[in-house]
A and B are shown apart, each in its own frame.
Chain A
């Protein structure tokens, strides 16, 4: 009996993935849970594990092909079962293949997902429906007018990775506030259209990752009213401390001691004092998150990822240093998996790493705030009626003004500042 292996659901909002590479070929034995192929989606790159032990019979989908969740990707002959019925099965497989082939044009057309007909756009606008949350039953995943009418009747399907976000999209419809839904999706697309091309201009097709980034950024900017504030921090003590410890630390622990763990620790401890900073906007409520999961911004040459250090409040400076280094490595190697990306409750951004002294970061939706740590620079500072040379750093906070007001944000920021300034050359870590 050959068993059908289907494209697994790689995260709640993921509906399709591209078979990046087959790790097995027909005839190869596989054990249960052994990876059989690599799949890339607009969110993560992941490996698809085998669900059974056996031998690969057939790879149905070619590398580079994008398939929907639930589609047949390959077949495995289960270990221990007789291959007696192989022949009729093989024929069936052939048929399967033929039908899979017949589907190929449809699969190529998954771009139809974002091809909206005038009727669909009009209805979505009138009813404030977020089209990204509706699955299409038309050819190539196109959202049909009937899909929209059904959604209006039954309410927009609760989608999305964070349940909160789903509530959010449901809430404004009832309040009839034309708040988030409509501008979200089309904006990046709309910008692209209508730009006149001149000779020599180069058009770069937008990758799935880039498109996701664009959507998230637009969504955050449209939905969350950003307020911004900045404080100066005297980190002279911290710089001295790090300089004292870093060589031993590297030798002993095998990871570099950067400033990041100190920043994260100061943030985490302050979040415990101000749980509102560790919350999400729920439409008609604010949800204070119990776990403190810190998203850290990690840039690659062409994209920006925000992997998550889960339960950062349970980690020491060493633990944080390890976590940061691992996530950074995984990101650059393109090896982040879904759980590395999910569940962040607050974002820390080390913009100083590329020399910035001031930034106004965009909140990592649906979190309440994001804090960026700028370059540490030596500056003349007045202390005790004297001018001294101190290591100064700006920290910049963007906050969702629906959740937070300046006062609480300021108090939080001040506690982060105090914690960082409390380090001296002889502090214990």
Chain B
């Protein structure tokens, strides 16, 4: 299997899906001639032309609004929001329209729409280019939120998202784009949305995470193995809907759970996962469920020192795991 980067997996999934299904088209700011500011759509304009690779005005509400209309018309739009930070003007379209079309029309209409958005910090992006926005949408019924961590998951899940009949928010951690590489099969495949994945087996502490912090957790697990601490790592991959079975199973595996995400602690996905475990796996618990998340501060700081302080890293996660292991 060839080894490709996280962002290559995005490009491949888009290209293959556009080739497979003529209804699929992409739209967004600078996705066409420029090939995207991160180059996620590189080569698509050349291959599929301006009618299927649309450069849009700087108006996120229009990008999503047009997509919803196109989806209703039978197309399969893949909208790119250049930075997840800029998704806010489109919230009304996403939450009040896209998420509710199937329900509102009693199932007569669906909204097969994918919204891709790079999120997350650690890239010196500061306030407007570093946010994690998943919790703004988490818990909105009618939406699916996919947040993959590896090239393999990116490709399989993005294809599944494009083929899904309902709106999917597809958040890509921008730090992962060129940092994370992995094996991806050449042949066509999809991965089920709503299924978590055990990325590492262990029996002392369970870490549940997704996105960039998932990799930090794996690195921490590697470090701790030398200390004799065996870490079980579950990658949520989809945060809405949560893979309840996998979460409960992973929690039961060790009885000690640490939930890690870059999004702020309060109101984050971790709270939902923790509540689920408390409700469904209480008698398996050997320690209080712990969360290690981004601090509750308004934004990612620009100062490198402070950005480092905000961001999680393998050491911080290893410390938290050690705490639990010793409990």
Contact = CB atoms under 8 A, between A and B. Distances in A.
Co-assembled chains A and B: yes
Interface of A: 117-122, 138-139, 142, 144-146
Contact of A119 (B203, B204, B284, B326): B284
A146 B284 contact: no
A122 B283 contact: yes
B204 A146 contact: yes
A138 B285 contact: no
B327 A142 contact: yes
A121 B284 CA distance: 10
A425 to B, nearest CB: 70
Nearest to A116: B286
A139 B327 contact: yes
A117 B326 contact: no
A120 B327 contact: no
A3 B203 CA distance: 40
Contact of B327 (A121, A122, A138): A138
Contacts of A145: 254-256, 286
Given A144-B286, A145-B286, A119 B327 contact: no
Contacts of B203: 146
A139 B284 contact: no
Contacts of A146: 203-204, 286
Nearest to B282: A118
Interface in B268-296: 282-287
Contacts of A121: 283
Nearest to A112: B327
17 contacts: A117-B287, A118-B283, A119-B255, A119-B283, A119-B285, A119-B286, A120-B286, A122-B283, A138-B326, A144-B286, A144-B327, A145-B254, A145-B256, A145-B286, A146-B203, A146-B204, A146-B286
A228 B94 CA distance: 78
A146 B255 CA distance: 9
Given A117-B286, A118-B283, 11 more contacts: A117-B285, A118-B282, A118-B284, A118-B285, A118-B286, A119-B255, A119-B283, A120-B286, A138-B327, A145-B254, A146-B286
Among B283, B286, B327, which residue has the most Cβ atoms of chain A within 10 A? Answer: B286
Q: What are the 5 tightest A-B residue pairs by CB atom distance, in nearest-first order?
A: A145-B286, A119-B286, A119-B255, A117-B286, A145-B255
A117 B287 CA distance: 6
Contacts of A118: 282-286
Nearest to A125: B283
Contacts of A139: 326-327
Contacts of B282: 118
A153 to B, nearest CB: 13
A269 to B, nearest CB: 55
Interface string B230-254: 0000000000000000000000001
A123 to B, nearest CB: 9
A65 B24 CA distance: 72
B43 to A, nearest CB: 52
Contacts of B285: 117-119
Interface in B95-145: none
A182 to B, nearest CB: 15
A212 to B, nearest CB: 27
A216 to B, nearest CB: 29
Contacts of A138: 326-327
A148 to B, nearest CB: 9
A116 to B, nearest CB: 10
Interface in B42-82: none
Interface string B316-327: 000000000011
Contacts of A142: 327
B151 to A, nearest CB: 35
Nearest to B204: A146
A138 B205 CA distance: 13
A142 B256 CA distance: 14
Nearest to B284: A119
A139 B327 CA distance: 5
A191 B284 CA distance: 25
B314 to A, nearest CB: 23
B152 to A, nearest CB: 33
B41 to A, nearest CB: 49
B138 to A, nearest CB: 27
Contacts of B286: 117-120, 144-146
B280 to A, nearest CB: 12
Contacts of B255: 117, 119, 145
A142 B327 CA distance: 7
A146 B282 CA distance: 17
Nearest to A121: B283
Contacts of A120: 286
Contacts of A119: 255, 283-286
Interface string B296-319: 000000000000000000000000
A119 B287 CA distance: 9
A118 B326 CA distance: 17
A142 B325 CA distance: 12
B283 to A, nearest CB: 5
B319 to A, nearest CB: 14
Contacts of A122: 283-284
A118 B203 CA distance: 17
Nearest to B203: A146
B282 to A, nearest CB: 5
Nearest to A140: B327
B44 to A, nearest CB: 51
Contacts of B283: 118-119, 121-122
A344 to B, nearest CB: 38
Nearest to B326: A139
Contacts of B256: 145
Interface string B184-207: 000000000000000000011000
Contacts of A144: 286, 327
A144 B284 CA distance: 12
Contacts of B284: 118-119, 122
Contacts of B254: 145
A249 B285 CA distance: 66
A328 B301 CA distance: 73
Nearest to B256: A145
A135 to B, nearest CB: 16
